[in-house]
Amino acid sequence: MGRFSSGGEYFVIGDYEYVFFTDHGDISVLNHVLTYIRENEHARKLKIVWIIENAENLSAKALRDIDDLDRAYPDIKIEVVEEKGTFGPSKIKELSNRWKFRSILCLSVLQAISFRIV
């Protein structure tokens, strides 16, 4: 995995699923990620890893947003994982090692939803 930074969101392409790391999960960005997967990839599974720094869990609004996306993209299985900690490269590396997925590329999601290798 490379070094990366951009707005607190990272997109890692794994062997069998896409893993999207976020610390705030803007629904418009998540929608772009799902659109990208639907239009460009064969994988039909997205794991959204929501890294939460404080002791709180996901808000009711965030959970409703995920439910809305799940209905909008019935062909893509969406899994949400809450993970306590500080968002950043070291947390992403820790989770990648724990879950033992081999990332092929690490992409940063930019606001304009243009993807680039970092």
The residues facing 22 across adjacent strands are 9, 50
Q: Per-residue confidence of the chain (118 residues) as pLDDT tens digits?
A: 334 444 566 655 544 678 888 887 788 889 988 998 898 887 888 888 888 887 677 788 888 999 999 999 999 999 999 889 888 888 888 888 888 765 554 443 433 334 433 3
DSSP string for residues in 35-54: HHHHHH-S--EEEEEEEESS
Domain borders along the chain are 9-117
Tell the CATH topology of 9-117: Rossmann fold (3.40.50)
